[in-house]
């Protein structure tokens, strides 16, 4: 079977000819066709999808409810029809249909192309002739651009390790970022360059070809959150999903969509996350490897400078970080919103300026500096107003401008306050006091949910439910007390199989890029 792109004009012509559509993929692509093309939904014969959770439910078109069925159980019951692959997994579905033999009398299936896919289809004669080269691609961050998030995280930690070890002497290393001009430091490394992941969406043919040339000739691809772009890869490439962290939050997308098609390997920090990632990433467990996460190595490499010098804050006897996860996101990622907190400050526990000022007085008395580092996607207009003598609020951009990642700075800290963020799991490796703000635990459970149940049994730190709990935790840190030490030791071997700062080395060994010496 040949797989060909279709467009709105073809659909309209088929409708005039009275053809019926067998649609495979019950998501946004199909919904957009129903909305923008008059009469389309009346010509849908049947809908199939590979998500078991959708079988037996109904696709809600503007004027119809259509049963969603198992792809392999659909057979044609008419002669005048067209098969539309209304899914990003169109190649996989085309193979399914070919193997099933249900539609063997037709020679063409039609897929709904993005601009990038249409470009690849038109220039396949060129891209199919390209050979893999000694080239490595890195990409970080979400599918939506958030400033500073596209050159950080696990991908950046692995890149920095590989530069230190001289991998760029043998491999060309390419960063996919939003705007290459934002990161002039990338081009300062030998054999390293930056390109934009926005280039394939532009009308500039030269930039499109440059992007796809590098994408289709790289031997290895390392990335964190965004992975949909890897569907444009070619045979023989190794795609490594480094992910962004192992934490407590359930996956926002609850429709059971499998992501395993987009990568060949993914990494976790410890045995407790093997089965969880199989479930939440929708991939086979033989793609998941317990190597440790690349950015965890940074917790073993504290900077030579102090936090006061790096962050330009007053010198203090002790430094405590508070890293709350997001509740309300920036405009670009509104779909990830959880709920609005009833808080004048945008934070749990410290819900009024009176509490903020009281806490600042206590911190001053204890000679502690509290550094509130906001999540990259957190809408921060209220939180940014909280800077006082012993409280400093920093954004992701503030941290990136220091030249260090957050885990490097946490290596210099004396304690961490978190909530449901994966950074708390990383921080267990520091063997320092750890606390969890749980004031809005029930709201979060109803909104997104947790991967562990009951959550409290898996938290390797002190539970903070109110303002008094937070003040007591700060006093304990000041006095050198660590009441949650036993819980931390209990969870350590479950969350971290490796506690040596060699995760990057293990990841490269895993995929065949390791050096000659053996890991101990």
Q: What is the pLDDT of residue 386?
A: 74
Q: Is the pLDDT of residue 238 over 70?
A: yes
Q: What is the pLDDT of residue 132?
A: 97
What does the H/E/C string look like for 41-93?
HHHEEEEEECCHHHCCCEEECCCCEEEEEEHHHCCCCCCCEEEEECCCCHHHH
Nearest residue to 498 via CA among 241, 285, 273: 273
Instruction: Spell out the domain ranges in the chain.
Output: 2-113, 127-297, 304-495
Can you tell me which residue has the tokens 């520091």?
A: 430
For the chain, first and last CA: distance in Å?
51
Q: Is the pLDDT of residue 465 over 80?
A: yes
pLDDT digits (tens, 9 = 90+) for 136-166: 999 998 888 888 889 999 999 999 999 999 9
Q: Which helix (H) or strand (E) holds 9?
A: helix 8-16
Rounded CA-CA distance 168/135 in Å is 9
Q: What is the pLDDT of residue 519?
A: 39
The more confident residue out of 470 and 443 is: 470
Q: Where are the alpha helices (DSSP H) in 199-352?
A: 205-217, 274-280, 307-311
pLDDT band at 498 (very low <50, low <70, confident <90, very high): very high
Contact between 57 and 29 (Cβ < 8 Å):
no
Q: What is the pLDDT of residue 341?
A: 62
Mean pLDDT of the chain: 89
Q: What is the pLDDT of residue 221?
A: 98
Contact between 342 and 440 (Cβ < 8 Å):
no
Q: Is the pLDDT of residue 423 over 90?
A: yes
Q: Is the pLDDT of residue 104 over 80?
A: yes
Q: What is the pLDDT of residue 346?
A: 77
For residue 280, is it left (φ>0), alpha (ψ between -120 and 50) or beta?
A: alpha
pLDDT digits (tens, 9 = 90+) for 190-227: 999 999 999 998 999 999 999 999 999 999 999 998 88
pLDDT band at 328 (very low <50, low <70, confident <90, very high): very low
The more confident residue out of 92 and 242 is: 242
CATH fold label, 2-113:
Rossmann fold (3.40.50)
Q: What is the pLDDT of residue 1?
A: 82
Q: Is the pLDDT of residue 114 over 90?
A: no
Most confident of 46-55, 263-272, 349-358: 263-272
Q: Is the pLDDT of residue 263 over 90?
A: yes
Q: Is the pLDDT of residue 481 over 50?
A: yes
Q: What is the pLDDT of residue 269?
A: 97
DSSP symbols for 113-145: --HHHHHHHHTHHHHTT---EEEEEEE-S-SS-
- The SS3 assignment for 37 reads coil
If you classify domain 304-495 with CATH, what class do you get? Answer: alpha beta
pLDDT digits (tens, 9 = 90+) for 76-92: 988 899 999 999 888 88
Give the torsion sign (CA, 432, 243, 436, 270): negative
pLDDT band at 332 (very low <50, low <70, confident <90, very high): very low
pLDDT band at 419 (very low <50, low <70, confident <90, very high): confident
Nearest residue to 386 via CA among 372, 399, 367: 372
Q: What is the pLDDT of residue 242?
A: 97
Contact between 435 and 464 (Cβ < 8 Å):
yes
Nearest residue to 109 via CA among 196, 100, 254, 267: 100
pLDDT band at 258 (very low <50, low <70, confident <90, very high): low
Q: What is the pLDDT of residue 452?
A: 86
What does the H/E/C string look like for 161-177?
HHHHCCHHHCCEEEEEE
Across 309-323, 411-425, 436-450, least confident range = 436-450
Q: What is the pLDDT of residue 520?
A: 37
Q: Which helix (H) or strand (E) holds 8?
A: helix 8-16
433 exposure class (CB count in 10 Å sphere: 0-12, 13-18, 19+): buried
Q: What is the pTM of this model?
A: 0.86
The more confident residue out of 516 and 410 is: 410
Q: What is the pLDDT of residue 22?
A: 97
Q: Is the pLDDT of residue 336 over 60?
A: no
127-297 is classed in which CATH architecture? 3-Layer(aba) Sandwich (3.40)
Q: Is the pLDDT of residue 375 over 80?
A: no
Q: For residue 100, what are the CA distances in angstroms to 74, 78, 87, 91, 96?
A: 10, 18, 18, 14, 6
Task: Tell me if 127-297 shares its fold with 304-495.
Answer: yes
33 exposure class (CB count in 10 Å sphere: 0-12, 13-18, 19+): buried
Q: What is the pLDDT of residue 379?
A: 57
Q: What is the pLDDT of residue 383?
A: 59
The more confident residue out of 500 and 395 is: 500
> How many residues are recorded in the chain?
520
pLDDT band at 339 (very low <50, low <70, confident <90, very high): very low
pLDDT band at 490 (very low <50, low <70, confident <90, very high): very high
- In the chain, pLDDT over 90 holds for what percent of residues? 68
Q: Where are the alpha helices (DSSP H) in 315-439?
A: 353-366, 396-400, 406-410, 423-427
Q: What is the pLDDT of residue 123?
A: 94
Q: What is the pLDDT of residue 40?
A: 96
Nearest residue to 198 via CA among 272, 145, 241: 145
Contact between 209 and 123 (Cβ < 8 Å):
yes
């Amino acid at each position: 079977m040949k797989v060909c792109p279709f467009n709105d004009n073809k659909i309209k012509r088929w409708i005039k000819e009275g053809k019926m559509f067998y649609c495979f993929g019950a998501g946004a692509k199909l919904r957009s066709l129903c909305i923008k093309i008059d009469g389309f939904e009346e010509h849908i014969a049947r809908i199939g999808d590979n998500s078991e959770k959708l079988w037996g439910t109904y696709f809600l078109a503007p004027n119809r409810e259509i049963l969603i069925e198992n792809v392999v159980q659909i057979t044609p019951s008419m002669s005048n029809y067209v098969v539309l692959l209304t899914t990003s997994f169109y190649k996989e579905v085309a193979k399914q249909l070919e193997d099933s033999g249900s539609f063997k009398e037709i020679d063409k299936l039609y897929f709904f192309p993005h601009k990038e896919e249409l470009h690849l289809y038109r220039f396949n004669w060129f891209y199919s002739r390209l050979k893999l080269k000694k080239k490595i691609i890195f990409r970080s961050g979400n599918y939506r651009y958030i400033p500073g998030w596209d050159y950080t995280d696990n991908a950046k930690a692995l890149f920095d390790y590989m530069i230190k070890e001289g991998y760029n002497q043998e491999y060309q290393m390419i960063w996919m970022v939003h705007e290459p001009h934002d990161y002039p430091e990338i081009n300062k490394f030998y054999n390293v360059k930056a390109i934009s992941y926005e280039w394939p969406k532009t009308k500039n043919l030269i930039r499109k070809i440059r992007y796809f040339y590098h994408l289709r000739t790289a031997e290895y691809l390392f990335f964190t959150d965004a992975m949909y772009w890897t569907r444009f890869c070619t045979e023989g490439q190794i795609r490594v999903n480094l992910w962004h962290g192992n934490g407590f939050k359930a996956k926002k997308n609850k429709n059971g969509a499998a992501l395993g098609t987009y990568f060949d390997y993914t990494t976790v920090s410890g045995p407790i996350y093997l089965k969880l990632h199989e479930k939440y990433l929708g991939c086979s467990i033989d793609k998941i490897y317990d190597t440790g996460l690349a950015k965890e190595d940074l917790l073993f490499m504290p900077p030579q400078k102090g936090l006061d010098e790096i962050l330009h804050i007053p010198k203090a006897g002790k430094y405590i970080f508070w890293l709350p996860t997001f509740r309300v996101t920036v405009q670009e990622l509104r779909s990830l919103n959880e709920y609005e907190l009833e808080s004048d400050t945008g934070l749990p526990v410290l819900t009024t300026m009176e509490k903020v000022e009281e806490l600042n007085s206590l911190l001053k008395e204890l000679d502690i500096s509290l550094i509130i580092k906001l999540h990259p996607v957190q809408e921060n207009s209220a939180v940014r107003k909280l800077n006082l003598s012993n409280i400093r609020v920093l954004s992701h951009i503030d941290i990136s401008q220091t030249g260090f990642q957050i885990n490097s700075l946490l290596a210099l800290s004396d304690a961490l306050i978190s909530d449901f963020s994966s950074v708390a799991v990383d921080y267990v490796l520091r063997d320092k006091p750890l606390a969890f703000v749980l004031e809005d635990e029930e709201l979060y459970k109803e909104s997104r949910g947790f991967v562990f149940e009951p959550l409290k049994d898996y938290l390797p730190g002190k539970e903070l439910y109110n303002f008094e709990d937070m003040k007591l935790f700060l006093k304990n840190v000041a006095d050198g007390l660590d009441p949650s030490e036993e819980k931390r030791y209990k969870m350590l071997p479950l969350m971290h199989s490796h506690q040596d700062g060699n995760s990057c080395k293990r990841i490269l060994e895993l995929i065949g890029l390791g050096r000659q010496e053996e890991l101990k």
